[in-house]
Structure 1
């Protein structure tokens, strides 16, 4: 009589047998094939939901994808672009007349330029010693002991000599510095150039090229009758006359010209070239918009200004200069856009996506049918059948599970 097997051996034997059965089941299921079964459910509310979902998906693809987004087209964004600008006009301050060569910086006519509207002039600066500005940190003093010789403040105007001297006006004293004297705060004179500035005209010549479609166009009317000499921009009647009044640009950006001229600011001129190349080339038109780009409500460093100097030689072979702090309106010309043209590949892709997405309605209704309907278990039994291969002839066995179906494969409820 054989001895009984220990419990541990029986446990491991059972585990191995279960593992083998699981492996055989997974291997068998790997080779199963699933085919959809058509089941007609006569339920008006479920049918309304099904058709409504299909209709919404169809409207989305027809209206938004194909009409609005034009997804049947091949597209290209970011055209190659060139911008040439030219400013014309004269203005006057309290003491003199200013022309283009003096108030436009830089003069090359690029896509970014500044029109000076106010200046603070510090004339006749020479290399020497003078009081530091009171605006510089730790510049005020009471005696020479408060001023360290050789100290250089990066925010100051020169190298400190170690002396405490009276300021340009008032009873204050500041440390003496060696540099360009007098410093800006001590002798600057303000001039306003913005009186006639709203009437300055700005020519913005722009041409674009879409290399993928070999399409080029410009924003100027191709006429030989001197059209550009007497026209100004109008969105409907003179779209191809890109000559803008500075006052018009500031107004379209929603700004007050006098305030902007005093503090300075940055205005963006945006040219948008959105072109449907399935249409005639004349339908590809530039669209202009104007917007202030710098944050005007930021208290720190509000507005826009810059400094430059003009140098002169003197009779004693020394050098003097005029320092100018300029406030102005900087114009940034920004060009963007996209072009599209019919292409078979995106059309086929989006049509296939649309047809596939219509099946979402069936998926949603199946979920409602098998989850929330009163007879969901009956529907589940009718919808899912499991069959195995029939036995070979002569075995006398039928391993197929019972199922109910009509000769056409349609189970109707």
Structure 2
């Protein structure tokens, strides 16, 4: 119990302690070199990286409000297996046609023509639809990978002796009479106009990537010759993304056009220009590769509703806009300056750790670095002052005036050693001066 009370008193007493730095000059070349190098590194970091590279004196805003409008130009031609030719214009090979930030340019099609609603054998590729007898087929069942609703009959497939369940669907099925057409021959020459407008609300700054009345006349984007032109060719986009055009045109794929606005608003607005980069976004693997989708065209043929199912492979373009803007502000400047000045003190902490841990005579350094000073009790002086009166003798008054005790006591090792040495010298002198036999 006494130990707990003692610790509590000690802890409470520490609440009223105050620590003040003490400067000790250590004449050590190695430690001084380390200290100056640390200071130099911290100063270079803040002066070059924080204030020059990161522009720590600016207020920053990321994620601008953005609007993208795209327009594709070009005409292509496809050849069917029987030699038939077909012309494709923008209205047919661009999906969707609205001109948004995501669109697809069709490069190859697989068409199943003259499909009508009726009954036909399920595809052999649907494993769950294979059967031996009618008992294997349940009327009304639908397989997730199937093409229609089972009728409950087991019929022979169109090819071979394999039997599958009969279904009610759009017949003939897609994999039976498919016709493939390729229009990739002229796709590399297609041009894409990308109009992009951005707005930074914090700074009330708006900018577009089209400047001047004649900015769109006879220009095609090039990183060095024409970096401000927003018209790109498909061949250039695919090439800059590092993709083989023949492969992506056959299987399809997704390419991202990344527009990055990095604006320093302390400069003239004309210096704020977008930077373009290109990258393939879909992952390449053996399980699922490329990009494709299906749509149908419906018409009436001899009074029967008929459709043509089209599976298309294409290059999907995703226009992605990033950006950040910065402008001088007093608050981040003060914060970063204060951080820089504070960080310089890290060198002192590190060097103190080396000094007190690894240097020779570290115990001596520790004794000289930490001192304790506390105020002495002045109860005796206060009592003597209260008891004194005007009738006191001059000797008493003089003794009170000249009796100045130090208000603070220093427990530094130097003072303690001096006191101990003075005490030993006084005792030795008293022994030598005393007469023999006293």
Under a length normalisation based on structure 1, what TM-score does the superposition of the two structures give?
0.89
2:73 is aligned with 1:88: yes
- Distance in 2 between residues matched to 1:110 and 1:52, nearest whole Å: 55
What is the count of residue pairs matched by the alignment?
387
Equivalent of 1:283, from 255, 271, 287? 271
Q: 1:358 to 1:180 in 2, by over 3 A?
A: same
Alignment match, 1:344: 330
SS of the residue 1:347 aligns to? helix
In our comparison, the structure showing a higher alpha carbon Rg is: 2
SS of the residue 1:186 aligns to? coil
- Distance in 2 between residues matched to 1:22 and 1:335, nearest whole Å: 63
- Distance in 2 between residues matched to 1:405 and 1:209, nearest whole Å: 69
CA offset digits 1:275-310 (Å, max 9, x no partner): 1111111111110000000002x2222110000000
2:224 is aligned with 1:219: no
Deviation at 1:365, TM superposition (A): 1.1
CA-atom RMSD in angstroms = 1.9
Equivalent of 2:253, from 246, 250, 265? 265
2:260 is aligned with 1:293: no
2:184 is aligned with 1:194: yes
CA offset digits 1:67-117 (Å, max 9, x no partner): 111111100000000000011111111121111111110000000000111
Larger mean CA deviation between 302-311 and 379-388 belongs to 379-388
- Distance in 2 between residues matched to 1:200 and 1:37, nearest whole Å: 75
Alignment match, 2:199: 209
2:302 is aligned with 1:315: yes
Deviation at 1:20, TM superposition (A): 3.5
- Distance in 2 between residues matched to 1:402 and 1:174, nearest whole Å: 101
CA offset digits 1:340-371 (Å, max 9, x no partner): 01111000000000000000111111111111
- Distance in 1 between residues matched to 2:121 and 2:217, nearest whole Å: 53
- Distance in 1 between residues matched to 2:126 and 2:7, nearest whole Å: 84
2:137 is aligned with 1:147: yes
Deviation at 1:27, TM superposition (A): 2.3
- Distance in 1 between residues matched to 2:158 and 2:274, nearest whole Å: 55
Equivalent of 1:403, from 406, 412, 436? 412
SS of the residue 2:374 aligns to? coil
- Distance in 1 between residues matched to 2:151 and 2:8, nearest whole Å: 92
2:281 is aligned with 1:303: no
User: 1:144-183 alignment to 2 at 5 Å?
Assistant: 144-183=134-173
Larger mean CA deviation between 95-104 and 161-170 belongs to 161-170
CA offset digits 1:30-79 (Å, max 9, x no partner): 11111111111111111111111111111111111111111111000000
Deviation at 1:246, TM superposition (A): 0.6
Q: 1:181 to 1:24 in 2, by over 3 A?
A: same
Q: 1:163 to 1:23 in 2, by over 3 A?
A: closer
Alignment match, 2:366: 380
8 Å CA contact 2:128–2:143 kept in 1: the answer is no
- Distance in 1 between residues matched to 2:190 and 2:363, nearest whole Å: 81
- Distance in 2 between residues matched to 1:25 and 1:176, nearest whole Å: 92
Q: 1:152 to 1:393 in 2, by over 3 A?
A: closer
Deviation at 1:387, TM superposition (A): 1.2
- In the alignment, structure 1 segments of 5+ residues that lack a partner are 1-14, 407-413
User: Which is bigger in relative contact order (C-alpha 8 A, separation at least 6)?
Assistant: 1
Under a length normalisation based on structure 2, what TM-score does the superposition of the two structures give?
0.84
CA offset digits 1:14-34 (Å, max 9, x no partner): x34x44333332222211111
Deviation at 1:245, TM superposition (A): 0.6
CA offset digits 1:210-265 (Å, max 9, x no partner): 11111111111322x4x524211112332222111111101100001111011000
2:317 is aligned with 1:331: yes
Alignment match, 1:7: none
CA offset digits 1:89-148 (Å, max 9, x no partner): 111111211111111100000000001111110001001111211111233334434433
8 Å CA contact 2:367–2:413 kept in 1: the answer is no
Deviation at 1:403, TM superposition (A): 2.9
2:237 is aligned with 1:252: no
Larger mean CA deviation between 273-282 and 263-272 belongs to 273-282
- Distance in 1 between residues matched to 2:227 and 2:46, nearest whole Å: 34
